[in-house]
A and B are shown apart, each in its own frame.
Chain A
Amino acid sequence: MKLYSIIALALLTGCSTTVPVKMTFPDVPPSLKERCAPLKKIEGEEINIADLYKVVVENYTSYHVCAMKQDEWNEWYTTQKKIYESVK
């Protein structure tokens, strides 16, 4: 009787395993993978303050675009990580 009980228990015991379904982490949007534009240099022989101003404004613009992309990259990663971790 004991032997029957042990056999039945062994046969009815389920095996623990993980579910073979996984989510792949998404790809970064292409616009966030672009490198920051290099800073512009002042070109020419006779440089006045207006020429200097233009280059400075263009470089500020490049910086603002690059900083914005950096913020968006962080936002993208944080959000995607939350989504990825919710599937568990």
Chain B
Amino acid sequence: MFSTLGWMMSLLPDSLLMWIFYGCAGIGLAMILVSWFIWFIPLLNRYRFPVQVLGVIAFGVGAFFSGGYGIEMMWRERVAEMEAKVRAAEEKSREVNTVIETRVVTKTKIIKEKGEKQIQYIDRVIKGDTVEITKDMSEEQKAEFVAKQKELEDNLKNCKVPKLIVEELNKAAETP
């Protein structure tokens, strides 16, 4: 019943509703005051009780609805304020998600490229494809690089990694 009443009330302009409620309460109050004064007027004396009752009812109804209306308006305002806050926060949250998602993709690419480059570097040194690597080196640096390259070649020819080490390394790579 109250929801239907609320819906009907929502069809009326806000200012008109306020005037109706305040008017009702005002009329009720006036009727209560009048009921006290007519006590002294002999002809109207007999209407005192009905006027007083109607006055109390009108005042009560007016006060109830104006109070309820005021609270309703206050909550609507707060809900609208909260909804705006939530919308702004959700938008910001989506932006943060996009920024982080993009950053993760970029960083993953950079890390993987770095690893691939390091593997490619060693492959080229093993194959002897070192022109690109040594092109900007001084003679001293080149000599040092060649010595390291020879050390690697000797190591690859003569030094196999013991099976025990490989097995233990593989064990270490397993998730406990």
Using a CB–CB distance below 8 Å, which chain A residues touch chain B?
4, 7-8, 11-15, 17, 19-23, 26-27, 29-32, 38-42, 46-55, 57-61, 64-65, 68-69, 72, 75-76, 79-80, 83-84, 86-87
Contacts and interface: CB of A to CB of B under 8 A. Distances in A.
B119 A14 contact: no
A50 B122 CA distance: 8
B67 A11 contact: yes
A37 to B, nearest CB: 11
Contacts of B66: 12
Closest 5 CB pairs of A and B: A61-B115, A39-B173, A21-B82, A41-B170, A29-B101
Interface string B109-123: 001101100110011
A47 B160 contact: yes
B89 A86 contact: yes
20 contacts: A13-B67, A14-B74, A15-B71, A21-B79, A21-B82, A21-B86, A26-B90, A26-B94, A27-B97, A29-B101, A31-B104, A39-B174, A50-B152, A54-B119, A64-B111, A65-B107, A68-B107, A72-B100, A79-B100, A87-B85
Contacts of B103: 72
Nearest to A3: B56
A41 to B, nearest CB: 4
